[in-house]
């Protein structure tokens, strides 16, 4: 017997108070915190409650009774359905204010850290069409609105049910079809290429059906597009099935339609997931990489390379890192989670030596290439798990860092890594993070023994209109009482 559906609960005349983390706005109702997406401070709404716990509730706007005076019309025609952008309903200066507060709240509420000086957030000069990397998914089943479900014929064709776009949140097998929609935060060429391929495949459906994530069958799987400020345009198409002849026909048609493509790749992915990191990329035409310029250095970017998705704002982020590092020219610098060595090679111009550590081997290969092509001779890189590479013995062998830069993934640093850093005792630690919460947690651990003080911090908006924000913090060593000497000489018998 089917369980009876619970009647939805509504809250009337709720006043949205402020922006919160993760793209949510915050209100207080019935002595609980209420989190509401796609709202604006000052909105008065009727809220549909989705989940209610002891101290908080999650809800969605059922009816906007009185819009906030802060509200603006979103540029994107699928805003709210897409899920990629969370803040297009707010002016950009309000977004910056909210992100700055989010970063400050993490420091005080999670880390319980008093930053001596918090600098103003660094915003984008142009907050639109900034992304240099976009990934689209071909799906046999697209997400359908209630109106579309009602209007579809009973025997709808596969072409009417498929789509190419972004995954719908919480639905691994469905995408929001973006045909005819220009993504407002990506380079417009990405939307043009996506729509061309969609038209091409729909006109030849028997040869190029879209992938079915549940049945694991189909031909067209994913599309990756990368651009650079130097005019580079890389396209990578992942096929699941099909013949080499059909792949060549599609790739050739794409190359002829978009002669500005400078690097055209394809992959064959027959796995049950869309990850491409462990698959070989086949170059069909053009150069094997595209190039980007940053502070006079040229970086090569391959189909699987890591590179900041906002090229212009990355320059401002790295300028802030160099400013906080306070390099004089004779320092040993460690760059943890170095990626393709962008920070390490940038700082190498201003110090004695740089050692970069990264767990992705392909990224380290890129780091060496970028080092060599820029004539940098004082940077070296190591690939492997951070806990396994960064040990006391490693520090003894390579020299204690005067400055340590760390830019970990969203999960932050593992406790053993923090412990080695504390024993190495660099004079300055520059912590770059894409997650203010884990950054605050790690900074608290680094400061727990009284060895460091939090000198200053700054948020950098790398991702306008989304809920993400990058933060940079500087810790400075207080004294030498906790400094652990690590023998660098040879072992004695």
Give the Cα separation of 323 and 405 in Å (integer): 12
What average pLDDT does the segment 344-373 reach?
Answer: 95
CATH number at residue 165: 2.40.50.1070
Asked if residue 119 and residue 138 are part of one domain, the reply reads no
pLDDT confidence band for 4 (50 / 70 / 90): low
Burial class of residue 490 in the structure, from the number of CB atoms within 10 Å of its CB (0-12 exposed, 13-18 middle, 19+ buried):
exposed
- pLDDT tens-digit series, residues 376-401: 999 999 999 999 999 999 999 999 99
- Bridge partners, 164 (sequence order): 138
- Could you tell me how far CA 63 lies from the centroid of its own chain? 32
Tell whether 235 is covered by a domain. Answer: yes
CATH number at residue 343: 3.40.50.150
CA angle 429, 401, 339 (to 5 degrees): 70
Tell whether 316 is covered by a domain. Answer: yes
- pLDDT tens-digit series, residues 29-56: 999 999 999 999 999 999 999 999 999 9
Tell whether 153 is covered by a domain. Answer: no
Q: At what angle do helices 92-105 and 436-447 cross, to 10 degrees?
A: 30
Q: β-strand 452-460 against 117-118: which pairing, if any? A: parallel
For residue 83, what pLDDT is reported?
82
Asked if residue 171 and residue 276 are part of one domain, the reply reads yes
Asked if residue 140 and residue 118 are part of one domain, the reply reads no
For residue 485, what pLDDT is reported?
42
Beta-carbon contacts of 435 under 8 Å, excluding residues fewer than 6 positions away, are 410, 411, 412
What average pLDDT does the segment 274-295 reach?
Answer: 93
What average pLDDT does the segment 130-146 reach?
Answer: 93
- pLDDT tens-digit series, residues 435-481: 999 999 999 999 999 999 999 999 999 999 999 999 999 999 996 54
Burial class of residue 350 in the structure, from the number of CB atoms within 10 Å of its CB (0-12 exposed, 13-18 middle, 19+ buried):
middle
Give the Cα separation of 462 and 460 in Å (integer): 6
Beta-carbon contacts of 191 under 8 Å, excluding residues fewer than 6 positions away, are 178, 181, 182, 183
**Helix/strand/coil for 191:** helix
- What's the whole-model pTM score? 0.90
For residue 447, what pLDDT is reported?
97
Name the DSSP class of 5. P
Asked if residue 457 and residue 330 are part of one domain, the reply reads yes
Asked if residue 139 and residue 257 are part of one domain, the reply reads yes
Last residue of a domain, one of 239, 262, 294: 294
Q: Among 146-155, 220-229, 297-306, 312-321, name the one with the lowest average pLDDT.
A: 146-155
Contact 460, 470 (CB under 8 A): yes
pLDDT more than 90, % of the chain: 83
Q: β-strand 133-139 against 220-227: which pairing, if any? A: antiparallel
Give the Cα separation of 439 and 454 in Å (integer): 12
Asked if residue 289 and residue 163 are part of one domain, the reply reads yes
**From start to end of 78-174, where are the E strands?**
117-118, 133-139, 163-167
Count of domains observed in the chain: 3
The mean of the pLDDT values for the chain is 93
Last residue of a domain, one of 55, 71, 87: 71
What average pLDDT does the segment 206-219 reach?
Answer: 94
Tell whether 485 is covered by a domain. Answer: no
Asked if residue 118 and residue 195 are part of one domain, the reply reads no
Asked if residue 141 and residue 121 are part of one domain, the reply reads no
Place of tokens 């509200």: 71
Catalytic residue numbers, as ranges: 434
Please check the confidence at residue 6 and state whether its pLDDT lies above 90: no
For residue 173, what pLDDT is reported?
77
What residue numbers bound the domain in which 386 lies?
97-127+310-477
Binding-site residues for S-adenosyl-L-methionine sit at: 308, 337, 358, 407
Please check the confidence at residue 274 and state whether its pLDDT lies above 80: yes
Asked if residue 442 and residue 372 are part of one domain, the reply reads yes
Asked if residue 116 and residue 141 are part of one domain, the reply reads no
Asked if residue 392 and residue 246 are part of one domain, the reply reads no
Q: Where are the alpha helices (DSSP H) in 295-389?
A: 311-325, 342-347, 361-373, 386-389
What average pLDDT does the segment 128-136 reach?
Answer: 97
Tell whether 175 is covered by a domain. Answer: yes
Please check the confidence at residue 490 and state whether its pLDDT lies above 50: no
Give the Cα separation of 32 and 254 in Å (integer): 54
Tell whether 78 is covered by a domain. Answer: no
What average pLDDT does the segment 84-106 reach?
Answer: 96
What average pLDDT does the segment 411-433 reach?
Answer: 97
For residue 170, what pLDDT is reported?
74
What average pLDDT does the segment 318-342 reach?
Answer: 97
Give the Cα separation of 83 and 147 in Å (integer): 19
What average pLDDT does the segment 70-97 reach?
Answer: 95
Torsion of CA 365, 366, 368, 374, to 10 degrees: 160
Give the Cα separation of 169 and 165 in Å (integer): 12
For residue 3, what pLDDT is reported?
62
What are the φ/ψ torsions at residue 345 (nearest 5 degrees)? -70, -30
CATH number at residue 43: 2.40.50.140
Give the Cα separation of 161 and 139 in Å (integer): 9
Tell whether 92 is covered by a domain. Answer: no
pLDDT more than 70, % of the chain: 96
Give the Cα separation of 70 and 145 in Å (integer): 28
Asked if residue 361 and residue 274 are part of one domain, the reply reads no
Place of tokens 């590479």: 389
Place of tokens 């393709």: 340
Tell whether 247 is covered by a domain. Answer: yes
For residue 487, what pLDDT is reported?
39
pLDDT confidence band for 7 (50 / 70 / 90): confident
């Amino acid at each position: 017997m089917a369980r009876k559906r619970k009647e939805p609960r509504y809250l009337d005349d709720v006043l949205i108070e402020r922006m919160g983390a993760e793209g949510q706005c915050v209100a207080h109702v019935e002595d609980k915190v209420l989190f509401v997406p796609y709202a604006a401070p000052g909105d008065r709404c009727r809220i549909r409650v989705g989940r209610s716990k002891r101290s908080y509730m999650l809800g969605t706007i059922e009816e906007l009774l009185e819009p906030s005076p802060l509200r603006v019309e979103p540029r994107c025609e699928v805003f709210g359905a897409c899920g990629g952008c969370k803040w297009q309903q707010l002016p950009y200066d309000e977004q910056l204010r909210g992100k700055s507060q989010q970063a400050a709240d993490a420091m005080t509420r999670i880390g319980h850290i008093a930053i001596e000086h918090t600098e103003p957030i660094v915003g984008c000069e142009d907050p639109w069409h900034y992304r240099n990397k976009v990934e689209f998914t071909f799906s046999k089943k697209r997400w359908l609105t209630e109106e579309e479900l009602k209007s579809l014929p009973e025997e709808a064709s596969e072409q009417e049910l498929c789509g190419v776009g972004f995954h719908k949140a919480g639905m691994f097998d469905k995408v929001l079809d973006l045909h005819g929609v220009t993504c407002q935060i990506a380079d417009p060429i990405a939307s043009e290429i996506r729509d061309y391929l969609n038209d091409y495949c729909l006109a030849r459906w028997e040869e190029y059906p879209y992938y079915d994530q549940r049945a694991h069958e189909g031909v067209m799987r994913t599309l990756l597009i990368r651009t650079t400020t130097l005019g580079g345009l890389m396209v990578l198409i992942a096929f699941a099935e099909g013949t080499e002849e059909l792949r060549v026909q599609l790739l050739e048609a794409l190359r002829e339609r978009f002669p500005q493509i400078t690097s055209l790749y394809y992959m064959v992915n027959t796995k049950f997931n869309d990850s491409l990191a462990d698959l070989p990329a086949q170059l069909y035409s053009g150069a094997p990489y595209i190039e980007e310029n940053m502070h006079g250095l040229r970086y090569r970017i391959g189909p699987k390379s890591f590179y900041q998705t906002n090229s212009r704002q990355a320059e401002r982020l790295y300028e802030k890192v160099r400013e906080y590092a306070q390099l004089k020219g004779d320092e040993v610098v460690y760059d943890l989670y170095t990626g393709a060595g962008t920070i390490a090679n940038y700082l190498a111009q201003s110090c004695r030596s740089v050692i970069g550590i990264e767990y992705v081997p392909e990224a380290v290969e890129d780091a060496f290439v970028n080092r060599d092509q820029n004539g940098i001779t004082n940077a070296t890189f190591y690939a492997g798990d951070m806990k396994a590479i960064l040990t006391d013995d490693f520090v003894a062998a390579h020299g204690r860092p005067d400055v340590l830069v760390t830019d970990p993934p969203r999960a932050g640093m593992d406790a053993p890594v923090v412990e080695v850093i504390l024993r190495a005792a660099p004079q300055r630690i520059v912590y770059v993070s894409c997650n203010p919460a884990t950054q605050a947690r790690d900074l608290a651990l680094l400061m727990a023994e009284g060895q460091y003080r939090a000198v200053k911090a700054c948020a950098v908006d790398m991702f306008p209109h989304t809920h993400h924000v990058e933060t940079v913090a500087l810790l400075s060593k207080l004294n030498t009482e906790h400094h652990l000497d690590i023998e660098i000489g040879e072992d004695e018998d």
